[in-house]
């Protein structure tokens, strides 16, 4: 792995194992544990990437620290990680806003655990690029990809010249997700083989051109989705009861 800038992580292709990506976990790590067991995840050679929102609303947000310490787990920053950092740095309204959005679990941690987790979250990048064995790359962004042009966004991230508005949009924006939700067409990103996004809970894993939307509302009692990190990869969408598991992408729209 190399990191040209803290905002961007770049990973070489996995030459020995398999790569997977998981949607917004939101503290539902029991569901992730079950998915990893289901797919036969091998921690000695496989890797797991996350589109962010590890914490808040689910039952076990403190387990984010456990996963962030595992060498095979790589996450980007979601808006709930942003809220954590703002709450710790600013207190006041930022802390109140975070608690309203599920951040109260943090207060139960001891001071050392809070400090250690905050450091790990602050180090999370805004995007991850992973080379694919078949060629091209997979990209992870939490909310949206401004301009839908990965090479342009990548250059700004790597050089540290990305506009702050674009950085915020990567974490918080829902423009492309709303396009899909409202049936206004599909979404395609140039310069990447496949792009995985979270942030906006979808009724099922969505495939639209080369974008994949994998937040399926785990914390809402719905499903946690995990997929192979590939343009044509398999998908597992596990229900909260850990019994029902679906395996289909819902294909949406022609890009417009």
Buried b / exposed e along 212-224 (16+ C-beta atoms within 10 A)? bbbbbbbbeebbb
Report yes or no: 211 and 187 within 8 Å, Cβ to Cβ: yes
DSSP letter string, 193-229 = SEEEE-SS--SS-EEETTEEE----GGGTSEEEEEES
Report yes or no: 151 and 192 within 8 Å, Cβ to Cβ: no
The helix (H) or strand (E) run that includes residue 152 is: helix 150-159
Nearest to 34 by CA among 237, 228, 206, 196: 237
Q: How far apart are CA 82 and CA 56, in angstroms?
A: 12
Q: Is 11 a catalytic residue?
A: no
Provide CB contacts within 8 A for 44, sequence distance 6+.
Answer: 17
Among candidate residues 11, 74, 80, 142, the one labeled active-site is: 80
Supply 162's token pair. Answer: 């990305």
Paired with 128 in beta bridges are 9, 140
Provide CB contacts within 8 A for 237, sequence distance 6+.
Answer: 204, 205, 216, 223, 224, 225, 226, 245, 246, 247
- What is residue 158's three-state secondary structure? helix
Which residues are tagged catalytic?
A: 80
């Amino acid at each position: 792995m190399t990191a040209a800038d803290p905002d961007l992580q770049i990973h070489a292709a996995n030459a020995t194992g398999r790569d997977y990506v998981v949607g917004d976990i939101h503290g539902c790590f029991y569901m992730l544990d079950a998915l990893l067991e289901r797919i036969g995840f091998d921690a000695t050679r496989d890797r797991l990437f996350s589109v962010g929102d590890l914490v808040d609303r689910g039952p076990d947000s403190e387990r984010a620290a456990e996963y962030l310490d595992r060498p095979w787990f790589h996450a980007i920053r979601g808006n709930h990680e942003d809220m954590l950092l703002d709450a710790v740095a600013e207190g006041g309204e930022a802390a109140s806003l975070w608690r309203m959005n599920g951040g109260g679990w943090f207060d139960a941690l001891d001071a050392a655990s809070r400090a250690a987790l905050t450091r790990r979250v602050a180090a999370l990048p805004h995007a991850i690029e992973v080379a694919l064995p078949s060629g091209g790359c997979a990209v992870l962004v939490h909310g949206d990809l401004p301009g839908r042009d990965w090479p342009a966004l990548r250059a700004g991230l790597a050089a540290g010249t990305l506009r702050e508005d674009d950085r915020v949009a990567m974490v918080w924006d829902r423009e492309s997700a709303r396009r899909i939700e409202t049936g206004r067409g599909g979404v395609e990103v140039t310069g990447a083989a496949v792009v995985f996004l979270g942030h906006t809970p979808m009724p099922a894993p969505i495939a639209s051109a080369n974008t994949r939307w994998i937040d399926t509302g785990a914390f809402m009692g719905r499903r946690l989705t995990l997929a192979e990190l590939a343009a044509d990869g398999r998908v597992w969408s596990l229900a909260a009861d850990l019994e029902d598991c679906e395996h289909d992408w819902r294909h949406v729209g022609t890009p417009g």
